[in-house]
Amino acid sequence: MPIHFRHDPERDLLIHVGVGHLDIEDIRNLRQERQRAGVPARVRHTLTDFRRADFDFDIESLRAYEEGLSEDDYAGMRHAEIVVKPHPLAILLLWKNWLPDGISVEIFRDAEAAYRWLGVEPRPGDLDF
């Protein structure tokens, strides 16, 4: 799977790490895999590391996939996205701007800043997959 994940209930943290070429099906599969693994639908902090990923989709594909996203589904949750490559960065910046108000998403270039914004202490191996 090009997007790996780990859930840390102690820190109320869900970590995703994307590697290689990702398409919309990878995002859909990730959600299904999390459900099968018993990860709760509502996790307070999500850290997604896309520094080693390339996106094989555009903003319109992501928008169509995420259509119907409700602020209520994400109330009180924080999402930190780490990205450095220009194309994924552009997609995530556009995605952040069309999300409903009240969904808390920030985009970072390094993990340390993302953890700090989430208010979560990093642990060795968090982003190793």
List the pLDDT tens digit at each of the 129 positions of the chain: 699 999 999 999 999 999 999 999 999 899 899 999 999 988 999 999 999 999 999 999 988 887 766 666 677 789 999 999 999 999 999 989 888 777 899 999 999 999 999 999 999 999 999
> Do residues 27 and 65 touch, judged by C-beta distance below 8 A?
yes
Handedness of CA 110, 30, 122, 42 (dihedral sign): positive
Biggest CA pair distance of the chain: 37
Which domains does the chain possess?
Answer: 3-118 (3.30.750.24)
Q: pTM value? A: 0.92
* pLDDT the model gives residue 101: 76
Query: Sheet harboring 78-82: ordered strands across?
Result: 3-8, 13-22, 45-55, 78-82, 104-108
